[in-house]
Amino acid sequence: MVQDKVKFFKALGSETRLRIIKYLLENERCACEFESMVDRDQTTISRHLKVLTEAGILEKERDGKNVVYKIENEDLKDTFRELGIDKMKTCC
């Protein structure tokens, strides 16, 4: 149980992952959309999405060739909004 919490909080310890969460608070998204949104290459994005998924923050669903990500549940969305992640500036 403690390890799950450690994994969860470590997943939030990256600006890129917080930006991904910010965009997912708006709407579920295909993995392919994040490259331009967070200005990282697809390999890096995939690694960040994996960390968030393994921490229980995101869930993924295959839609043909695409993988669509969304935040695991409404309680998490509410928590992230309370923390102000939805109001983060995404640019300089």
**Does an H or E element contain 62, and which?**
strand 58-63
* Statement: residue 92 has pLDDT above 60: no
Measure CA of the first residue to CA of the last residue in the chain; give whole Å: 37
* Statement: residue 90 has pLDDT above 70: no
Query: How many Å apart are CA 92 and CA 80, to the nearest integer?
Result: 21
Cα separation values, 69 from 23, 44, 66, 76, Å: 11, 16, 10, 14
pLDDT at residue 79 in the model: 95
CATH number of 2-87: 1.10.10.10
Q: What is the pLDDT of residues 38-87, one digit of tens each?
A: 888 899 999 999 999 999 999 999 989 999 999 999 999 999 999 999 99
